[in-house]
Amino acid sequence: MDRWVDAYLDHLSAERGLAPRTVKAYASDLSRLVQHAEGEGIHDVTELTTSVVASFLVALGRRGVSARTAARYLSSVRGFCRFLVQERAVPSDVCALINRPKVSRRLPQTLTAEEVLRLLEAPPTATRRGRRDRAMLHVMYAAGLRVSELTHLELADVDRRRGVVRAFGKGNKRRLVPLGEHAILALEAYLVDRDQHRHAATSAVLFLSPRGKALTRQAFFKAVRTYARAVGIRKPVSPHKLRHSFATHLLEGGADLRSVQAMLGHSDISTTEVYTHVVGDHMRRAYRRAHPRA
């Protein structure tokens, strides 16, 4: 089984172009499946059955794993089983008849437009680090980027004349997203500093750390949290919450769902539709507040 798991992970990395962090998550999930199967005396993929996968999910539940996490495990196992069928290692997909655990839909938490404005203006413009962080926050909110997309942007990915940024999302899918005037101004202020960076000529990365490398996701997360506290935002704030806010504020402003889907880089519009529930709550509150007979 380990040999086939390794082959599947190679497939995810080389053929599907998934990020190393995503492949590592698949590896962790599938190692739990292998351990469970071996505990039941199964050592070859040809011995995998629907009941083995079902008992694996039951065992996860007994360990206190949430339905949401169990659904993620099942998604990893399903992908592996489809790969086995595709490679003709097994005659049929043993996961085909297993239902996904019921998961309650969690609405994304967002910042208000006023909170976003305070956060964007938090980094000081008097320091190089502050100008870099302000540009990063502006670009992230203006384009709705994932934090990994933001930190891996290269200088060539930004077209200031056309006002667009090129992002590489999951599966290395490329998309172009407009940048607003405020984001471009913040970016131009930072680029003056970047040109003077001692690693500017040797690095293609847009947002440089002092050592000339791309910032880590963790470093940017800490910076966002620090700036949020500094301007009095008490709710938990993360870079991904800015992405949620981007989508919600666009829909509240009248943007159509397909356009928001394209800007977020979602392959399935059902992923984007969750934001319509947030906007629905917003509209209901506005209706109750404003309509004379609400």
pLDDT at position 156 over 90: yes
For residues 107-134, one letter each, b for 16 or more C-beta atoms within 10 angstroms of the residue's C-beta and e for the rest, the string is eeebbeeebbebbbebbeeeeeebbbbb
Confidence band for 103, pLDDT divided at 50, 70 and 90: low
What are the pLDDT digits (tens) for 10-29? Answer: 999 988 888 888 899 999 99
**Cα-trace Rg, the chain:** 23
The pLDDT value given to residue 272: 83
**Average pLDDT score over residue span 138-152:** 94
The pLDDT value given to residue 274: 79
Give yes or no: 170 in active site: yes
What are the pLDDT digits (tens) for 250-272? Answer: 988 888 888 889 899 888 887 78
Confidence band for 50, pLDDT divided at 50, 70 and 90: very high
pLDDT at position 275 over 90: no
Q: Which domains does the chain have, with CATH numbers?
A: 2-86 (1.10.150), 113-290 (1.10.443.10)
Q: Angle of helix 113-120 relative to helix 217-230, nearest 10 degrees?
A: 110
Give yes or no: 240 in active site: yes
DSSP letter string, 52-85 = HHHHHHHHHHHTT--HHHHHHHHHHHHHHHHHHH
Give yes or no: 244 in active site: no
The pLDDT value given to residue 59: 92
pLDDT at position 277 over 80: no
Give yes or no: 266 in active site: yes
Give yes or no: 199 in active site: no
What is the reported pTM? 0.69
Query: Which one is catalytic: 132, 134, 138, 243?
Result: 243
pLDDT at position 290 over 90: no
The pLDDT value given to residue 244: 92
Confidence band for 130, pLDDT divided at 50, 70 and 90: very high
Give yes or no: 293 in active site: no
What does each C-alpha distance from 234 to 218, 229, 237, 274 come to in angstroms? 20, 7, 8, 24
Query: Which one is catalytic: 132, 138, 146, 152?
Result: 146
Determine contact, residues 170/145, Cβ cutoff 8 Å.
Answer: no
Query: Which one is catalytic: 32, 166, 170, 199?
Result: 170
Q: What proportion of the chain, given as a percentage, has pLDDT over 70?
A: 95
Q: Phi, psi at residue 175, to the nearest 5°?
A: -145, 155
Sheet with strand 174-178: strands edge to edge: 158-159, 164-168, 174-178
Look at 11-20, 47-56, 98-107, 223-232 and tell me which has the smallest mean pLDDT.
Answer: 98-107
pLDDT at position 224 over 90: yes
